[in-house]
Amino acid sequence: MQPLNVALVGYGYAGKTFHAPLISATPELKLAAVVSSRPDEVRTDWPQVPVLAGLEQALLDPAIDMLVIASPNRLHYPQARSGLMAGKHVVVDKPFTVTQAEARELCLMAERPGSPLLSVFHNRRWDADFLALKALLAGGELGALSHFESHFNRYRPQVRARWREQDQPGAGLWYDLGPHLLDQALQLLGWPQTIYASLFKQRAGAQATDYFHVQLGYAEYQAVLHGSCLVSGGAPRFSLHGTLASYVKFGLDSQEDYLKHGGRPGETGWGVDLAPGVLFRQRDDGEMREPRPSPLGDYCDFYRGVARAAQGLGSNPVTAREAWRVMALLEQGEQSAREGRRLFCLPVA
C-alpha cells in the first residue's frame, strides 16, 4: 500500500502535539504539507514538510489524498465540507463540529456512495485505561453495572488568552473534554435514556464553560461524566460498581503528556499506563484488592485504521455517524443545563 499524502490543516496545540507526530509515525501515511499561519514553527519541527498559507492550496493539489482538520472548532464544518467536495479523505479533530445540524450534514455527505472517507479523531478510545475498562466490562467481572463515573479534571485556575476559553461557538470545557467522555460512554454503555447537565463558569474572568457535571440515565444506573479546571490533587479517572465487584482507576493516559514533552510514538514508554486500576471484590475472608495492569495504549491505531479504510482495506475506526451522536448529546446537555431539567435523549436518526 502506497502511503497516503496528508495535509494537516492547523498547527496549534492539537496539530503540533497530536496529529503531526501521529501521522508521521504511521507508515501508511505521509505528512506531505501543513496549512498554517505559523510557518517558522512548522519548519523548526518538520523542516522537510512544505508549509501552505491557505486551505485552498491543499484542496487544489491532486497529490494530496487526505486532510486532517486541526483548526479551531468553528472551522471544522466548513473546512471538512470543502475537503469532501474536493474529493479528499477527511479526518476532523474533536469535537466533530459545533452544532448537531452541521454534523448531520457532513455525515450524510460522507454516506453517499463513492464519497471519500470521513473520520473523527476520538483518540481516547485508544487510551490504555479505556482499553482495560472495555475488556473488564466485556468479561462481565463487575456483574450487572450499578454505577459508572468518568472524570477528566485539571487544575488551571487562570483563564488563558486562547480561543478555547473565549466566548465563541465550540469553546469551553464541555466542548473540549466532554466529547471524549461522551464518546467513551457511548462505546461502553450505549445510548442513554436521559441526560441532566450542570455547566458553569467558575473561574474569575471565565468567558466559557470551565466545569461540567452530567448524568446519563440508563435503565438501572446512572453514568456520571465530570470535568473541572479547579481540581487539585486529582480524583479517580474511572469508578465503576457492579453486583460482583468494583473498579477504580487513578491517573490519566500518558500518551498526551509523552507527546507534549517531545516523545514520539513507538519509543520506549509509549502508551504505558503507570497507574494500574484496582478491582475490588468482597469475599468471606474480607475484601480482595487486585491490581489490573492496562494494555498498551496507542493513538497510532486510529491512523492505521483510517489509512486502511481510505484504501478500502478495513472499516472506519470512528464513523461520522458515531461523532454525530456525540454532537447530539453535547447539544442536549447544553439544553438541559440552560433549562435546569432532565431531558429524554432524542436518538440520532
- Is residue 342 a contact partner of residue 145, using CB atoms and an 8 Å limit? no
Q: In 3D, which of 163, 150, 169 has the Cα closest to residue 228?
A: 150
What pLDDT, on a 0 to 100 scale, did the predictor assign at position 59?
A: 98
pLDDT tens string, the chain, 349 residues long: the values are 799 999 999 999 999 999 999 999 999 999 999 999 999 999 999 999 999 999 999 999 999 999 999 999 999 999 999 999 999 999 999 999 999 999 999 999 999 999 999 999 999 999 999 999 999 999 999 999 999 999 999 999 999 988 888 888 888 999 999 999 999 999 999 999 999 999 999 999 999 999 999 999 999 999 999 999 999 887 899 999 999 999 999 999 999 999 999 999 999 999 999 999 999 998 777 789 999 999 999 999 999 999 999 999 999 999 999 999 999 999 999 999 999 999 999 888 7
The pTM of the whole model exceeds 0.85: yes
What pLDDT, on a 0 to 100 scale, did the predictor assign at position 44?
A: 96
Q: C-alpha distances in angstroms, 104 versus 275, 280, 281, 321, 322?
A: 39, 42, 44, 8, 11
What is the Cβ-side half-sphere exposure of residue 182, based on CA atoms within 13 angstroms? 30
How does DSSP classify residue 219?
A: S
What is the Cβ-side half-sphere exposure of residue 71, based on CA atoms within 13 angstroms? 22
By CB atoms closer than 10 A (0-12, 13-18, 19+), residue 170 is buried
CA distance 271 to 90: 26
CA distance 73 to 330: 14
Grid coordinates given for 46: 518538520
Q: C-alpha distances in angstroms, 295 versus 48, 129, 245, 252, 275?
A: 34, 8, 20, 14, 12
Q: In 3D, which of 178, 174, 223, 179 has the Cα closest to residue 199?
A: 174
Which fold would CATH assign to domain 4-122+301-316?
Answer: Rossmann fold (3.40.50)
Cell numbers 502511503 correspond to 3
In 206-285, where do the E strands start and end?
211-217, 222-228, 238-242, 246-249, 277-283
Grid coordinates given for 117: 472517507
What pLDDT, on a 0 to 100 scale, did the predictor assign at position 140?
A: 96
Q: In 3D, which of 170, 28, 31 has the Cα closest to residue 99?
A: 170
Residue 4's beta-bridge partner residues? Answer: 29
Domain ranges of the chain: 4-122+301-316, 125-298+329-344
**Triad 231, 239, 123: Cα angle to 5°:** 75
How far does CA 315 lie from the centroid of its chain?
19
- The neighbour count for residue 17, using CB atoms within 10 Å, is 16
Pairing state between β 66-69 and 89-93: parallel
CATH architecture, domain defined by 125-298+329-344: 2-Layer Sandwich (3.30)
What pLDDT, on a 0 to 100 scale, did the predictor assign at position 233?
A: 81
CA distance 230 to 214: 17
